[in-house]
């Protein structure tokens, strides 16, 4: 069996569900979110959380994350939408691609915190639960770049080089010779993110990590992978040279350092222990639902009444027996 000498790109970035078009980019994002929510729900219940909590919180976190990701993208590539000859309305065309990861994480976290507050959930245990699964969402979402033939790396002669339509070259069809293959950076990030997810989950169980250290590991792992992969990319970005590095590379460096600092602080101050209780309000915890308590009390009262009735019957029977004997 011969190995493929290149990875083809889709002829069009649209999947057809019968007569209904579904953009591949949107499909990848949606699939990533579904997987992340499903895995987070399993992890949350394993920690003692109530079933359905994560789905409810996702109703806050996902919209916030999408808006944050789009805002970050538009802010860092504003000329695409507000430069000369651009159409500002296209800033709203999120289905065409263009989500900034750090904006999505920042506002998504805000949404998750709001959702957690409404359910009496402690913030740190929640974030430690969902942070690793964000890697799955981000890795799967990167396949949207494959559908759009965007954000690929520099030319390569490796057997897994990516085929790109010349019309998608950053500087136009004449930028590279015909048949040029490119680093499939979307695939690199997908593999890195999935591997990092399993490593973090293993370390969390092995070392009993808590106190935000799982979040710190997630940020460090993503920044490390993103920083390395970013050096391969050749797409045009507005902030391509900030003190010799792309803006996204600086973000990876800065956030890696901050996450490492929090890891060290939480570890050496003893704040990095696992919190056994995940609800700030004990009444919100599973088994403490007022409705279920009411039902239990009713059952208890009913049992007492039945017991009393049985006792009365038994006493009556004993009295009859005594009277007969007398």
- The answer to whether 47 is annotated as binding is no
* pLDDT score of 297: 45
Task: Count CA atoms within 13 Å of residue 85 on its CB side.
Answer: 0
* Burial class of residue 126, CB neighbours in 10 A (0-12, 13-18, 19+): buried
* pLDDT score of 295: 45
How many domains would you assign to the chain?
1
* pLDDT score of 300: 43
Residue 235 · residue 170 · CB < 8 Å: yes
Within a domain: 9: no
* pLDDT score of 290: 53
- For the chain, give the secondary structure using H, E and C: CCCCCCECCCCCCEEEECCEEEEHHHHHHHHHHHHHHHHHHHHHHHCCCCCCHHHHHHHHHHHHHHHHHHHHHHHHCCHHHHCCCCCHHHHHCHHHCCCCHHHHHHHHHHHHHHHHHHCCECHHHHHHHHHHHHHHHHHHHCHHHHHHCCCCECECCCCCCEECCHHHCCCCHHHCCCCCEECCHHHHHHHHHHHHHHHHHHHHHHHCCCCCHHHHHHHHHHHHHHHHHHCCECCCCCCCCECCECHHHHHHHHHHHHHHHHHHHHHHCCCCCCCCCCECCHHHCCCCCHHHHHHHHHHHHHHHHHHHHHHHHHHHHHHHHHHHHC
* pLDDT score of 285: 72
Within a domain: 15: no
Within a domain: 311: no
* pLDDT score of 108: 97
Residue 84 is part of which domain span? Answer: 21-153+183-284
Within a domain: 324: no
Within a domain: 4: no
Within a domain: 112: yes
Global pTM value? 0.83
Within a domain: 142: yes
In tens, the pLDDT along 87-96 reads 899 998 887 7
Within a domain: 170: no
Residues with Cβ within 8 Å of 281's Cβ and at least 6 positions away in sequence, in order, are: 120
Q: Which residues of the chain have pLDDT under 50?
A: 1-2, 291-309, 311-313, 315-317, 319-326
In tens, the pLDDT along 247-283 reads 889 999 999 999 999 999 999 998 888 887 899 877 6
* pLDDT score of 4: 59
Sign, Cα dihedral of 118, 123, 127, 128: negative
């Amino acid at each position: 069996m011969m190995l493929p000498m290149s990875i083809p790109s889709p002829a069009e970035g649209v999947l057809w569900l019968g007569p209904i078009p579904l953009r591949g980019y949107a499909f990848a994002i949606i699939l990533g979110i579904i997987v992340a929510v499903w895995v987070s729900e399993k992890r949350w219940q394993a920690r003692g959380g109530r079933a359905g909590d994560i789905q409810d919180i996702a109703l806050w976190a996902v919209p916030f994350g999408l808006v944050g990701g789009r805002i970050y993208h538009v802010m860092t590539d504003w000329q695409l939408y507000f430069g000369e000859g651009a159409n500002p309305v296209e800033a709203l065309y999120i289905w065409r691609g263009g989500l900034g990861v750090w904006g999505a994480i920042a506002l998504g976290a805000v949404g998750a915190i709001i959702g957690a507050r409404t359910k009496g959930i402690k913030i740190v245990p929640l974030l430690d639960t969902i942070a690793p699964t964000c890697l799955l969402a981000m890795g799967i979402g990167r396949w949207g770049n494959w559908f759009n033939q965007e954000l690929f790396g520099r030319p390569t002669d490796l057997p897994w080089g990516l085929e790109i339509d010349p019309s998608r070259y950053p500087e136009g069809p004449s930028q590279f010779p015909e048949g040029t293959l490119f680093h499939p950076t979307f695939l690199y990030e997908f593999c890195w993110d999935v591997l990092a997810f399993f490593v973090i989950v293993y370390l969390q169980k092995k070392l009993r990590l808590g106190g935000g250290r799982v979040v710190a590991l997630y940020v460090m792992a993503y920044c490390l992978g993103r920083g390395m992969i970013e050096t391969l990319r050749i797409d045009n970005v507005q902030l391509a040279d900030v003190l010799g590095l792309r803006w996204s590379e600086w973000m990876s460096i800065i956030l890696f350092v901050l996450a490492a600092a929090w890891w060290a602080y939480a570890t050496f101050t003893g704040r990095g222990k696992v919190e056994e209780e995940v609800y700030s309000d004990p009444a919100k915890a599973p088994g403490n639902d007022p409705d279920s308590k009411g039902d239990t009390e009713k059952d208890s009262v009913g049992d007492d009444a039945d017991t009393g009735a049985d006792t009365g019957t038994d006493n009556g029977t004993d009295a009859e027996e005594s009277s007969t004997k007398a």
